[in-house]
Amino acid sequence: MTIRSSKDLGATIRRARKAQKLKQVDLATKASLRQPLISELENGTTNATLDTVLKVLAALKLDLTVVSRRKASFDPTEY
Amino acid sequence: MTIRSSKDLGATIRRARKAQKLKQVDLATKASLRQPLISELENGTTNATLDTVLKVLAALKLDLTVVSRRKASFDPTEY
DNA sequence: ATATTTTATACGTTAAAGCGTATTTTATGG
DNA sequence: CCATAAAATACGCTTTAACGTATAAAATAT
């Protein structure tokens, strides 16, 4: 999933969390964060810091990557 | 490039900037940020917000993506 | 070597991220 | 329906990101 806004990130996090059958409070605990912050993140209503983003993604076993914009590559190992 | 820390991001940004022959001040201008912030970002000495990260990556024509975590591939240059 | 350019650091200020906690609103199950 | 669970919002507080600006340090010419 390409992330170009806080909302993109929020949607990605929410989908991954639900796919893993976690509640916001569960994810918050795994990431050492608060449940309200997970809510704000998923709704894209906070401009999270990189540390926060990395904590949440790590808790979901996801990685952040940087790729060239023109290289629209299909990655079969996604999903 | 997989990003798991501010330093990872900083290194990635610096490499991309140099590959495009930009000075920090050029990148700062393109991203509507300050030169000192670019320096801090590249050195991993600030916990940047997502907006800041996205601005810089956009200025470098890079995208942020979220992918499922895979096993680290063996990199011979690390040894 | 030294002038010039580039990068890093410093400092005070402002805005907001994240915290703990409590409560409200919404979704779900019986 | 209603009860319970889950998610969203609220509040005051502390910390810090990012700002503008100035300058120091380092790198790169000349």
Find the CB nearest A68 among B4, B54, B62.
B62
Q: Mean of the pLDDT values across residues B37-42? A: 98
pLDDT, one tens digit per residue, over A41-65 is 999 999 999 999 999 999 999 999 9
- Spell out the residues 6+ positions from residue A30 whose beta carbon is closer than 8 angstroms to its own: A22, A59
A7 has a pLDDT exceeding 50: yes
CATH architecture of the domain covering B6-67: Orthogonal Bundle (1.10)
Kindly tell me the burial class for residue B16, based on how many C-beta atoms sit within 10 Å of its own C-beta (0-12, 13-18, 19 or more): buried
Which bases of strand C sit closer than 7 A to a protein CB?
6-11, 16-22
Chain A environment of B51 (Cβ under 8 Å): 6, 47
B26 has a pLDDT exceeding 80: yes
User: At B53, phi and psi to the nearest 5?
Assistant: -60, -45
B75 has a pLDDT exceeding 60: no
Longest dimension (CA), chain B: 39
Q: Cα–Cα distances in Å, from B46 out to A37, A39, B38? A: 21, 25, 10
